[in-house]
Structure 1
């Protein structure tokens, strides 16, 4: 295959394939397509390899690459010949190649693949990362299979293929091992990728949260005068906080005006001997790139960037931010920030307070993530006032690199964390968030606050793709992965208190202990509103009851077998509650394991008055709230989470007869003849595409007058249905746009005349609106299934019952693929009109299983085909037996989905 010219290669350069990735050891590197300008770097990479590595790659000893070979290797067309390189910071400050992966197309959908990893960087997972990215690029270019010829002694390369989860077939001929495998993702390969990603990102976070040496860098005497004083103050506060209290790290400083005792001070960055694991930086953004470049030689694992001046300033600032990330990731460093409030970590031997918080909270088992630095101030203040202990706190600021996803990966394995709270101003990759959060919520509650109810407010400095999704899409996504969404940070801490200090609720049946009947009624109403069930177990503590009587009443309430959780409200009209009563409640809650919340006059948060030891010796505290409604809401959210966590989350969807490879080939052919905006498929194309997913569309035939309608009906057989294609009346039997069960020629001619009279005023250009004749489907309920490819969320599936409930009232449910069978079942049952499918008011129950099968097939199709811009099945008639698709529309366009395997990809 002929090489392309430099100009052509540059013009076709696929910038979307560039990505910053986290490796097996928690460090980072940059992956990008090769360029002709990489010739010298590739030659240096080759010369630096051992003789054995060179022989395994080229089957011959080659001390240097010839000019011809070098030109061929660095000049590719990014279609039939693709090469990706992993680059790191070189000794001269530039880039050096540390890994190469390439493929050359050999057949229409098959390519030969080869890898070469620098000897010094083997064992870091580079081969697996490059394989993932190369396979993703190959799938975009229509490839479905990789082949390779490998020497028998090159077991490492064969192992990369097998460890990736692919089904590898191999045979040996003439001393060469021929290897082949399909690169379409499978359940196993996706699980392998997710697990490797999880371990790598968790290690990268653990590396800086467990840092034992910290360097604080301030602006010093140089740099722009404007803003220098603020930066100097920021650096001084961060340094003082690191040295205050229990210190678990060796602390160094450069360019900081006020230096406390015990800090190693250096006049310049290049004088710091190292090693340093964590750097806290407060310098002007114009010099930050050079500062980060200077940190590379010290083995720094992460940079906490307290200062701002990046993407929030516009395109120039965004370029500056990207340049900083390139330097940091090439040197293996993660970046927390810009505009971060810092990192606070409680350890057994003391605090790591690399933040602007002068007084850290108490130690505990709660992990908190907060993007906004200003909100971090109030959030940490609220945590301290409540006495709620923290294990880790991280503020990501503008979230240029380290995000909530990374922290969730860490917390999933962290034995010191029981519950996680996230304050999110933006979600850069909802598909990955949903995958990571689903995994974490299996073992630990995740409580989330987003900026605005829609979660679609994008603050300055956050590089996030736009979204056209309904504001409800985020709600549905979080519900689908069992994340607890609350309205504000106050509610977030309320809910976290329950999870952090009480056992998980065993159910939703609530017992109420109150100081008066009026208060009990209020609490019962609040409990019901929060989703709890009040079976009638309400205990009123008699005024003036002695301690023994109070204990008897409390013990009786907790002994009730119909009680799962308890709300205690003690608000006397005169004086304060007896402290002994609070202790009695705490002891009963700890002894029985009944999840309990309280509203006790004079108590708030986590208090010793409501603390007792359970039978296992663990300290349990009944959290105290300011209002009964707060207590009920927190307990209700906890009970709902416990119920959902205990249920089966279902299995991955694999409907029989789905061939998305065939669908991709169809779409690729149509797009090859379409413009850059794609095209709207006609009815035949849409039906053909749906057939690859095993979904059949009942044919309909366009007619323009009664004679044509009768001819079609006689061919189909009576009875038939007649429809107008006018958009205002389409699918609207209630408005006369659809006529059903037409049994003979006379009735059909009459209906044609009536429907044409109705539809003609709605026809475009004043013409006559065409009609459709279709065979009658079985009677049932009409539903609508839609999918849309959103720039931010990726594929979204929505479901509703046809008519005004969906169109005017928005009574639809949403799902974010990939879905499980349980997700699909929830999708069908979530709309308020869903009871019509299950025998509502004596109607026969319909074949919901057949409907779920259609949704499952559509879900798999839109998940595997990012080119499927939109799809609508309307109506889908669900009968007592079966579900029939009567109409379908689809549009396709070039794919623009953020590939979830390309971690840290820039927007």
Structure 2
């Protein structure tokens, strides 16, 4: 029986520009979206894909790609928001160890790594099914797809025949391929952190007029730090908060902000996050606590669907003291001193105490992130950011859990070759976990 799109397992991945896409196997429900992908292609890109400008070819391809699974054939689709932006397939024709591949990417998404990412995942899937070689016939003037094959990092040979080229890709992984995958992953991860730690615009959603409220405190700290970008408040009951313009909803802002800080009741966090995604917000910091399991899952799903990186929920906020940014999106009383220490904590209370202690010692901070419940951004992401931000010379981590201990170990070993790294693994006992959670 065909599997509905809503039940097909999705994997989130990052493109070269840091935006998030969702990858999964195609199913019959995808046919109309795949057909739209081909219908919206330029004539030149249709010619490169089908060797002729034929809308009928797109219809036939959509029928084949979205047919129920059959032996020797697999199709992957890439989605961003509600749009299908790419499709890749392989089919074993003459022998099970060799398969023909085809790839198509929406015109507006060229040069962003969609094709490479689809092929990476297609290679992994094919190798698990016993396929050892990919082959593809492409037009000689289709330099873009030939570059995608070459950049993959696998061994590629080409055989020219007039206006066409037959490419052969050996799927056996080697150090070159593994290094290429690792480098692409790191570069994409760092790019995805830009809206969080170097935003050009911030909206505080839930910035209240009542003194002492969390949203108002964050807005106050951003203003007092002299944030360099555009700053807005979102409050349906006020025209301004702390003399900063306020708007009824994130959809009413003059432009979508790079970063939205959510300080709203737990019950409305998932819908607020979805509204941010639809508006084009790049990343979220959710300081709200008390989300139940269902609300947390909905929040994560909204961020995955709309491609937003997420810090939190249940966190103190984030800060970046570098001069072109000057962002203090926390509700801590102590303002971080500018410096070269990268700091990440899970507990907001520990974060407040640590910032206060560092200030007393005269130790400045490059960036500070309170991870909270770690639904997305983790210590691995921050280590990679500090490794390449050109400013951090010391990394301090206070953690209560490791999502992927092996990945953390690999990253930490590499980063420790460039800077001192201090990690405190808190809450190892029941009493410690209770203390950390408080």
Match of 1:304 in 2: 285
Task: Say which SS state the counterpart of residue 365 (structure 1) adopts.
Answer: strand
Q: How far did residue 146 of structure 1 move? A: 1.4
Match of 2:261 in 1: 280
Number of aligned pairs? 431
- Compared CA separation, residues 374 and 111, structure 1 to 2 (3 A): farther
Match of 1:593 in 2: none
Does 2:98 correspond to 1:110? yes
Task: Say which SS state the counterpart of residue 37 (structure 1) adopts.
Answer: helix
- Compared CA separation, residues 19 and 437, structure 1 to 2 (3 A): same
- Give distance in 2, aligned partners of 1:364 and 1:119: 43
Match of 1:153 in 2: 141
Asked if 1 retains the 8 angstrom alpha-carbon contact of 2:233 and 2:241, the reply is no
1:124 to 106, 112, 118: 112
Match of 1:443 in 2: 418
Task: Say which SS state the counterpart of residue 438 (structure 1) adopts.
Answer: helix
Task: Say which SS state the counterpart of residue 397 (structure 1) adopts.
Answer: coil
Q: How far did residue 350 of structure 1 move? A: 6.6
Give CA deviations for 1:691-729 in whole Å, capped at 9, x if unaligned: xxxxxxxxxxxxxxxxxxxxxxxxxxxxxxxxxxxxxxx
- Compared CA separation, residues 322 and 390, structure 1 to 2 (3 A): closer
- Compared CA separation, residues 72 and 411, structure 1 to 2 (3 A): same
Match of 1:210 in 2: 198
Match of 1:98 in 2: 85
Please list every run of 5 or more consecutive structure 2 residues that lacks an aligned counterpart in the other structure: none
1:319 to 258, 279, 297: 297
2:363 to 375, 388, 391: 388
Match of 1:56 in 2: 48
- Compared CA separation, residues 112 and 434, structure 1 to 2 (3 A): farther
Task: Say which SS state the counterpart of residue 232 (structure 2) adopts.
Answer: strand
Q: How far did residue 409 of structure 1 move? A: 1.4
- Give distance in 1, aligned partners of 2:204 and 2:35: 39
- Give distance in 2, aligned partners of 1:247 and 1:274: 17
Aligned residue runs from structure 1 range 475-494, under 5 A = none
Q: How far did residue 156 of structure 1 move? A: 1.2
- Give distance in 1, aligned partners of 2:56 and 2:252: 38
- Give distance in 2, aligned partners of 1:61 and 1:327: 33
Task: Say which SS state the counterpart of residue 55 (structure 2) adopts.
Answer: coil
1:84 to 76, 94, 102: 76
Asked if 2 retains the 8 angstrom alpha-carbon contact of 1:168 and 1:180, the reply is yes
- Give distance in 2, aligned partners of 1:184 and 1:96: 33
- Give distance in 1, aligned partners of 2:289 and 2:69: 40
Match of 1:367 in 2: 342
Structure 1 vs Structure 2 CA RMSD: 2.8
1:402 to 377, 399, 403: 377
Q: How far did residue 293 of structure 1 move? A: 3.3
Q: Which has the larger radius of gyration?
A: 1
Task: Say which SS state the counterpart of residue 168 (structure 1) adopts.
Answer: strand
- Give distance in 1, aligned partners of 2:373 and 2:60: 46
Q: How far did residue 357 of structure 1 move? A: 1.4
Asked if 2 retains the 8 angstrom alpha-carbon contact of 1:235 and 1:256, the reply is no
- Compared CA separation, residues 146 and 365, structure 1 to 2 (3 A): same
Match of 1:491 in 2: none
Match of 2:216 in 1: 236
Q: How far did residue 64 of structure 1 move? A: 4.8
- Give distance in 1, aligned partners of 2:70 and 2:368: 43
Does 2:188 correspond to 1:200? yes
Q: How far did residue 176 of structure 1 move? A: 2.3
Match of 1:533 in 2: none
Q: TM-score, with normalisation over the residues of structure 2?
A: 0.90
Give CA deviations for 1:610-653 in whole Å, capped at 9, x if unaligned: xxxxxxxxxxxxxxxxxxxxxxxxxxxxxxxxxxxxxxxxxxxx
Match of 1:138 in 2: 126
Give CA deviations for 1:512-540 in whole Å, capped at 9, x if unaligned: xxxxxxxxxxxxxxxxxxxxxxxxxxxxx
- Compared CA separation, residues 72 and 97, structure 1 to 2 (3 A): same
Match of 1:32 in 2: 24
| Higher RCO (CA 8 Å, separation ≥ 6 residues) | 2
- Compared CA separation, residues 75 and 431, structure 1 to 2 (3 A): farther
1:252 to 209, 228, 232: 232
Q: TM-score, with normalisation over the residues of structure 1?
A: 0.45
Task: Say which SS state the counterpart of residue 149 (structure 1) adopts.
Answer: strand
- Compared CA separation, residues 101 and 435, structure 1 to 2 (3 A): farther
Q: How far did residue 9 of structure 1 move? A: 4.6
Q: How far did residue 238 of structure 1 move? A: 1.3
